[in-house]
Amino acid sequence: MISFSDLYCVLTAVVPLYVTMFLAYFSVKWWTIFTPDQCAGINRFVAIFAVPLLSFEFISRINPYKMDLLFIAADAVSKLLILFVLFSWAKFSKRGSLDWAITLFSLSTLPNTLVMGIPLLKSMYGDDKESLMIQAVVLQCVVWYTLMLFLFEYRAARNILIQQKYFNGTNGIINTERNMDNHGGIQKLGGGSVGGEDEVVHVIVTTPPLGSGTSDSDSHSFQNFNKVAPDSKGFNPIVTAAAAEEDGVCEQSVQACHKEEENKTKKIDGEEVGTPEAIKVTEYSSSISSEMLKQILKIVWFKLVKNPNSYASILGLSWALASCRWGIKKPQILENSVTILSNAGLGMAMFSLGLFMALQPKIIACGNRLAAYGMLVRFVAGPAVMAVASIGVGLRGTILRVSIVQAALPQGIVPFVFAREYNLHPDMLSTAVIFGMIVSLPVTVLYYILLGL
């Protein structure tokens, strides 16, 4: 059973992260130290430098030759099963979407094993279970974070190519008027705003011609193409897009709207585009030909090659294999160069989370309904699938209980950093991290008691 000293050990790991997060929150909300642009820069630093070095540090210390294969198999089967279900839902359901498939996969399968899992599971099941948690962390860094990056880049490339294919093949479905101020203001649709009092997000993205190289700033704009405000009425964001070509450069304005009033329709240039439920726009075909798929994969490969997180996983695993095989140790100068930033990785990730919270109109940025869905996915659906997968591969006894409790840990911090970097439901991920870490202790203790009966 968990003693007071064990509980104190968990609190010593968690409380400093909350101190960091609230310092960031107050620095924007009360003290106005950072501007929104500076907050975005800090998150970019975390995604490009702190997280990759943190991943490398943990991966390089693992012994790949002494891993629990059944535990790894259960973890992999559970994630692949959830991935299959979500992508089937996105493909065949009218309410499904690639965006929500990626977000729900992150919510259900990527827990905060590093911060919460290691001290908590050691307290519950003994010191020898620490190695299992480290293995889970390494697998997340090597396999599942890399997969998440692939999905984020695939989504961005797919959206760009489909939009270009659609607008190059037609005259457009909405008349656009370029009404820009000297600072690159908002491009208006039909000469006016469509959203009224509803939540509207305006994004202007400049993309280079396909096949050409991109700078880092172009890459950042490219990744942020499809910025969508989450729909509190369900997992079905509604997008209105318009594009105009000039000298091979495509400027696209994406509006994401959701309506709160019923029995109300709106018109653009005299044509109805509204229903009692939400604004409707003419949908374009999202079918992907084999040639387009090749272009998407080419763009994704180009982006992943430039992403430091990809190199961190490969180099960390390579070093771990060589180090354990031949007993090679990192030179002290290399060790210090890596740890000086990797030690700040989690703290900076929580600092970025606090900055994001401060920029939102309310702490539960995604709304109460989506927050409740997120908690159910994190603490019920994830552990349930892990239990099925663990029993299926043959886990029994203490290791079975460890796998289930590990799946019931709060949402990981790194997935939020990626979600914010790619502008894919960061509000929901931030809510999952914040409230997940608050309720995680009683939830995991409840699982511990129930599994011990």
* pLDDT on residue 287: 55
Within a domain: 291:
no
Residue from 52, 31, 28 nearest 40 by CA:
28
* pLDDT on residue 2: 63
Within a domain: 245:
yes
Looking at the structure, do residues 304 and 443 belong to the same domain, yes or no? Answer: yes
* pLDDT on residue 169: 57
CA torsion, ordered 179, 185, 186, 191, to nearest 10 deg: -20
Looking at the structure, do residues 403 and 342 belong to the same domain, yes or no? Answer: yes
Looking at the structure, do residues 207 and 326 belong to the same domain, yes or no? Answer: no
* pLDDT on residue 410: 86
Within a domain: 189:
yes
Residue from 44, 360, 423 nearest 225 by CA:
423
Within a domain: 404:
yes
* pLDDT on residue 284: 41
Looking at the structure, do residues 206 and 318 belong to the same domain, yes or no? Answer: no
CA distances from 70 to 59, 77, 138, 400, 403 (A): 20, 10, 16, 10, 10
Residue from 52, 103, 98, 108 nearest 75 by CA:
108
Which of 249, 283, 317 is the last residue in one of the domains? 283
pLDDT digits (tens, 9 = 90+) for 388-422: 999 999 998 889 999 999 999 888 888 888 898 88
Looking at the structure, do residues 302 and 279 belong to the same domain, yes or no? Answer: no
Looking at the structure, do residues 148 and 206 belong to the same domain, yes or no? Answer: no
* pLDDT on residue 138: 84
Looking at the structure, do residues 342 and 438 belong to the same domain, yes or no? Answer: yes
pLDDT digits (tens, 9 = 90+) for 224-279: 434 333 343 343 433 334 344 444 434 443 344 444 434 434 443 333 444 433 33
Looking at the structure, do residues 9 and 157 belong to the same domain, yes or no? Answer: yes
Looking at the structure, do residues 104 and 145 belong to the same domain, yes or no? Answer: yes
Looking at the structure, do residues 15 and 113 belong to the same domain, yes or no? Answer: yes
Within a domain: 168:
no
Token pair belonging to 214: 């991109």
Within a domain: 109:
yes
Contact criterion met (CB below 8 Å) for 412 and 110: yes
What is the per-residue burial (b if ≥16 Cβ within 10 Å, else e) of 38-59? ebbebbbebbebbbbbbbbbbb
Within a domain: 406:
yes
Query: In angstroms, rounded to a whole number, what is the distance separating the alpha carbons of residues 275 and 175?
Result: 20
Which of 283, 308, 340 is the last residue in one of the domains? 283
Which of 256, 283, 310 is the last residue in one of the domains? 283
> How many structural domains is the chain composed of?
2
* pLDDT on residue 350: 84
Q: Which residues of the chain have pLDDT under 50?
A: 170-286
Looking at the structure, do residues 261 and 318 belong to the same domain, yes or no? Answer: no
Beta-carbon count within 10 A of 126 CB: 11
Residue from 447, 149, 186, 187 nearest 307 by CA:
149
Query: Which CATH number do you get for residue 394?
Result: 1.20.1530
Looking at the structure, do residues 178 and 139 belong to the same domain, yes or no? Answer: no
Task: Supply the pTM of this predicted model.
Answer: 0.67
Within a domain: 20:
yes
* Domain that includes residue 220, residue range: 174-283
